[in-house]
Amino acid sequence: MDDNTIICRCEDVTWGEIRKQLDKGYTTLDEIKRITRAGMGPCQGKTCQRILLRAIARYLNKKVEDIPISTFRPPAKPIPLGTLAGEKDD
């Protein structure tokens, strides 16, 4: 994987940016997300979380299962504010 490979499309985060944070010692998914916004885009990591986890695991020489996944901020299904507020869809 080269530094220009895009890991998170929604937030336009490359492997190079993620590797830079791993090099600094940020080794958890949470830290990487907080700093780079990878996984925080409109799809809420549906597209990129697996790829991100695999990339972190490979860097750390660990198994994907051994990278802890955050439990907070459950992704909500995107829903229009109008629908939430009880207005009719249009």
Partner 1 sequence: MIKNADVVIIGGGVQGNSIAYNLAKRGQKNIVILERNTCASGSSGRCAAGVRQQFGTEMNCILARESVRILEQLSEELDYDIELNQKGYLILAYTEKELAQFKKNVQLQQSLGIASKLITPEEAKEIVPLINIKDVLAATYCPTDGNANPLLTTFAYAEAARRLGVKLYRFTEAQKIESEHNQVTAVLTNQGRISTNTVVNAAGEYAKEVGEIAGVEIPVYSQRHQILVTEPIEPLWDPMLMSFSRNFYFQQLPNGTIVGGYGDPKNEIIGHNLRATWQFSKVMAKKMIQLVPALKNVHMVRQWAGSYIMSPDSQPILGEHPQLNGYYMSVGFSGHGYMLAPVSGKMLAQCILEQEIELPIEKLDIGRFERGELILEPSVV
Our CA angle for 10, 14, 19, nearest 5°, is 135
13 in Cβ contact with 36 (< 8 Å): yes
* 73 binds, options ligand FES, partner 1, none, Cβ within 5 to 8 A by partner type: partner 1
Contact string 5-44 vs ligand FES (x = CB under 6 A): ---xxxx--------------------------xx-x-xx
Smallest gap, in angstroms, from Cβ of residue 48 to ligand FES? 3
Residue choice 16, 20, 31, 47 for contact with ligand FES (CB under 6 A): 47
Picking from 20, 29, 37, the residue whose alpha carbon sits closest to that of residue 62 is 29
